[in-house]
Amino acid sequence: MSRAALFALLVCLGAAAGDRAQAAPTERPAGDDGQWTMPAKDYAATRYSGLADITRQNARSLHPVWTFSTGVLGGHEGQPLVVGDTMYVVTPWPNVLYAFDLTREGYPLRWKYRPEVSANAIGVSCCDIVNRGPFYADGKIVYNLLDGHTVAVDAHSGRELWKTQIADMGEGETVTMAPLVVKDRVIVGASGGEFGIYGWIKGLDLATGQTVWTARNLGPDSDMRARTDTFKPPYDHGADLGASSWANDSWRTGGAPVWGFISYDPELDLFYYGTGNASPYNPEQRLGDNKWSASVLARHPADGALVWAYQFTPHDNWDYDATGTMILADLTIGGQPVKALVHFDKNGFAYTLDRASGRVLLARAFAPVNWARAVDLNTGRPQLEPSKQTGVSRGNVKGICPSLEGGVSPSSPAAYSPRTHLFYTSTNNLCMDYAASHATRLKGTPYVGVTSPYIPGPGGYLGTFMAWDAASGRKVWENREPFPTWSGALVTAGDVAFYGTLDGWFKSVDARTGEVLSKFKVGSGVVGNPITYRAPDGRQYVAVYAGLGGDWALLSGDTRSDDPTDVRAPADFLPDIARHTSQGGIIWIFSL
Amino acid sequence: MSPSRTRRRATLLWALVSSAALASCARQAPPPATPPATTTLPAVRYEAHLAAGGIPPEGAMLHNPHQGDAAVAKSGALLFTAMNCDGCHGGGGSGWVGPDLAAGRWRYGGADAEVFYSIYYGRPKGMPAFGGTLGVEGVWTLVTYLRSLPRPADLPTESWGSK
């Protein structure tokens, strides 16, 4: 396929800024207490704050007012919490928890908690030693340790209340995800899609940490907590789909990890989470749809009962994890009110689903896509492009878009503003070659089977930050960036959106047009997620981590400086990232 | 799965991927002068370590029976992929979540015996111990491969000029 034909399939670029006349201001959600108590701000995972002291008129005067070195070099994904007059920060491994006193000048620590965490976890993590943040509930800070534990720490004293082993590093499981707490249940899952795990999600008791239920994300119905009378997937019928869709019992090592963010709808009493890639990356070792890898699952928190599931990428050929955030928003589509779930997938499509049933209402490419032409709304299945399917027998398949970093990384959660009705997300503009090879399952070692060098996507840029209308499936504006964009998004009632870049700029932009209002070089690349809060002094602040990491620290081996025995050549597709940044964890706070 | 079953499976795997290495061993007249996997290996002495008082501790320098054997190195390349070493250390040992093994700089020493110990017993920060799965012969095969990798010129300076 010629390069021109290749990119004829690509999504068209966004319309010019400011063309969205219908985006009139609407009602503000009733009140915002100025705290940020859960990873994605609210159960709907909107990352939207009702605070409006910082506006698109005055954001140009944003400037840093405080910084703190975390003393840790790994990728600083995730985000702080602000509860009352305290800010809580969890670092990458070794997963230190800091509690800052926001009432005193210089924000001194009230305490710090240093759990004992096995160093073996470093080698069992596929993609850097990250942590996606804590959750506050019932006076406790709850978060996961990389070596497979969940801890609850007294938010006031810093004392450890309980510590539960949830994952087994010997099986290739580590834990990087942000937990979700609903009532008395702590929902947690494990990474390990590159180690052939048998993926799962668990519900722990908030008071004691004891495991109440465990549900597999694949395998027989009995393991998945799927009962035929209550499990109603919108497009599939039959029992044990999580086992019958894997040839030769390959579900036993089929991956489907949980490493992103979870959302929850109190009315439906359902929580929503995405599962990661099918293992191994060579798809010919696991023929079939491989349900429910690369899927979204809806369960009841009390007992983990599975209610529906939808697979974004059947028989994943490309490492297209679906662990990205599931944002719950009430939209108007074709004049009809819809309780929607909106998801930007690694596979390059943005999906708008009915969150009660799991049916797809809309699926449009938001980044260059050529592995599929479209998503069939009658079947929910992608219409595949035959020349972009992979496997050992197909040799080196060239020029697949997106790359396995995704049209967006699941590490980079989007935001939704009920004022603009727009979704805001980082994206990557990368494609890849994909040469699959036979993978050997050897417990506790990687189970991958691919060589997949990346290629810059079309257009001369590697990432964007963009605004998306999920009711129409349309890009409204985008800011192009010279490097893949890997931070989460934040949007506020001041109609200001925030994001950071891999080369270390933290930016505020007009949420309606994308116009950059302020930018500041924060010392290291941003792969974390900005938050905003009202401090005890009554003022609005914005906080974000700097700290290059995740896949980028691994790919661009010349961005580290701490190990004189580990000196690597730069990655050929982003040759000068180390000119602009190196690793290092810093917490930044900005205000007017 | 019981440990013994795991071991049998891995041993079978190793036998499959190392047939070329074994053929190469057969060509060499003297058998490897290394102890079988079941005996205790002698303590290795790290030449790169500082010794208190300038007096290094007692210790052996293990001898690689395949040093410089290109056929064994070739088998080691297959083994490097088959045992998933590339999953952490990158294709050709170019580095990923685990360190670069091709650059000629070594966290735990680059002498054959030191590399042997790193693979056989594992290292902190998650390098698994492969000695149980591969045995002495398998580990030496990997060492021979790693030592055969072409060493790029060590260029400590990365320069972007004044562009």
pLDDT digits over A410-464, tens only? 999 999 999 999 999 999 999 999 999 999 999 989 999 999 999 999 999 999 9
User: Rounded distance, CA B154 to CA A374, Å?
Assistant: 48
Considering only residues A79 and B162, tell me which one the structure prediction assigns the higher pLDDT: A79
Which one has a higher pLDDT value, B9 or A528? Answer: A528
The minimum CA-CA distance between B142 and chain A, rounded to whole Å, is 16
pLDDT reported for residue A3: 38
* Angstrom distance (rounded) from CA A232 to CA A215: 16
Q: Between A467 and B159, where is the model more confident?
A: A467
Using the predicted structure, report yes or no on whether residue A396 has a pLDDT greater than 60.
yes
Size of interface A-B (CB pairs under 8 A): 85
Closest CA to A147 of A112, A110, A172: A172
Please determine, for residue A468, whether its predicted confidence score (pLDDT) is greater than 50.
yes
pLDDT at A81: 98
Closest residue on chain A to B10 (Cα)? A442
Asked whether residue B70 carries a pLDDT value surpassing 90, the answer given is: yes
* Residues from chain A contacting residue B124 (CB–CB below 8 Å): 119-120
Per-residue b/e over B6-29, b at no fewer than 16 CB within 10 Å? eeeebeebbeebbebbeebbeeee
What pLDDT, on a 0 to 100 scale, did the predictor assign at position B35? Answer: 45
pLDDT in tens, A26-37: 333 446 899 999
Q: Who contacts A127 (Cβ-Cβ below 8 Å, separation ≥6)? A: A194, A550, A551, A554, B97
Cβ–Cβ gap A566/B81 under 8 Å = no
Residue of B84, B114, B118 to mutate for A, most A C-beta atoms under 10 A: B84
Tell me, what DSSP letter sits at residue A573? T
pLDDT tier at A383, thresholds 50, 70, 90? very high
Say what the pLDDT of residue B163 is. Answer: 65
From A170-179, A397-406, B43-52, the region with the lowest mean pLDDT: B43-52
Tell me whether B78 touches chain A (CB under 8 Å).
no
Q: Going by C-beta distance under 8 Å and a sequence separation of 6 or more, which residues neighbour residue A310?
A: A233, A234, A235, A295, A296, A353, A358, A359, A360, A380
Domain ranges of chain B: 70-150
Lowest model confidence (mean pLDDT) among A233-237, A535-539, B51-55: B51-55
Strand partners, A140: A137, A154
- In this prediction the pTM is 0.91
Return the top range by mean pLDDT from A122-126, A395-399, B25-29.
A395-399
CA A499 and chain centroid, separation: 14
- State the residue for tokens 């799927």: A226
pLDDT of residue A486: 96
The pLDDT, as a whole number, for residue B29 is: 38
In the predicted structure, residue A7 carries a pLDDT above the cut 90: no
Listed in sequence order, the residues at least 6 apart from B39 whose beta carbon sits closer than 8 Å to its beta carbon are none
The shortest CB-CB distance from B84 to any of A124, A447, A568 is to A447
pLDDT at B3 exceeding the cut of 70: no
What's the CA gap between A247 and A186, in Å, rounded? 33
- Give the whole-number percent of chain A exceeding pLDDT 90: 89
- The pLDDT of residue B39 is 53
H helix or E strand, kind and range, residue A26: none
Q: How far is B89 from chain A (nearest CA, A)?
A: 10
Length of chain A: 592
Of A119, A439, A557, Cβ closest to residue B100: A557
Closest Cβ–Cβ partner in A126, A443, A570 for B97: A126
Per the CB < 8 Å rule, is B88 touching A565?
no
Q: Enumerate residues 6+ apart whose C-beta is below 8 A from A6.
A: A370, A399, A401
Contact B128 A123 (CB under 8 A): yes
Q: What is the pLDDT of residues A567-591, one digit of tens each?
A: 888 888 888 999 999 999 999 999 9
Q: Residue A121 in contact with residue A146, Cβ under 8 Å?
A: yes
* Best of B7, B97, B119, B162 to mutate (most A CBs within 10 Å, chain A): B97
Mean of pLDDT over chain A? 93
C-alpha distances in angstroms, A34 versus A160, A489, A495, A590? 27, 18, 16, 15
- B87 interaction partners in chain A (CB closer than 8 Å): 194, 445-448
B76 reaches A (C-beta below 8 A): no
- Nearest Cα of chain B lies from the Cα of A62 at a distance, in angstroms, of 30
Walk across the sheet containing A360-365 and list its strands.
Answer: A327-333, A336-344, A349-354, A360-365
- In 3D space, the residue among A232, A202, A234, A233 whose CA is nearest the CA of residue A216 turns out to be A202
More confident of the two residues A142 and A7: A142
| Domain coordinates in residue numbering, chain A | 3-591
Q: Which two tokens stand for residue A542?
A: 């914005």
Yes or no: say if A173 and A446 are a contact pair by the CB < 8 Å rule.
no
Identify the CATH number of the domain defined by range B70-150: 1.10.760.10
Report which of residues A530 and A334 the model is more confident about.
A530
Rounded to two decimals, the ipTM of the complex is 0.85
Would you name the residues of A annotated as active-site residues? 194, 277, 319
Residue-wise pLDDT for B74-92, tens only, equals 999 999 999 999 999 998 9
Burial class, A579, CB count within 10 angstroms (exposed 0-12 / middle 13-18 / buried 19+): middle
B160: nearest CB among A451, A564, A579: A579
Q: State which amino acid sits at residue A404.
A: L
Band of the pLDDT at A262, cuts 50, 70, 90? very high
Are A570 and B158 in contact (CB < 8 Å)?
A: yes
Interchain contact B158–A (C-beta under 8 A): yes
Using a CB–CB cut-off of 8 Å, the residues of A that contact B are: 119-128, 194, 437, 439-440, 442-448, 451, 554, 557-558, 563-570, 576, 578-579
Instruction: Kindly give, in sequence order, each residue whose CB lies less than 8 Å from that of residue B26, ignoring residues fewer than 6 positions away.
Output: none
**Closest residue of chain B to A123, computed from CA coordinates:** B126
Q: Identify the pLDDT of residue A335.
A: 93
Q: Please check whether the domain covering A3-591 is classified as CATH 3.90.226.10.
A: no
- Report how far residue A225's alpha carbon sits from residue A207's, in angstroms, rounded to the nearest whole number: 23
Percent pLDDT > 70 in chain A is: 95
Band of pLDDT at residue B40, cut at 50, 70 and 90:
low
Closest Cα in chain B, distance from residue A134 (Å): 24
Helix axes B19-27, B3-17, angle to 10 degrees: 60
CA distance A381 to chain B (A): 31
Are residues B101 and B110 in contact, defined by beta-carbon separation less than 8 angstroms?
A: no
Residue B41, pLDDT score: 67
Mean pLDDT of the A295-307 span? 98
- The confidence score (pLDDT) of residue B43 equals 72
Lowest-pLDDT choice from A110-119, A121-130, A465-474, B148-157: B148-157
Residue B46: the pLDDT is 77
- State the pLDDT confidence band at B128, using cuts at 50, 70 and 90: very high
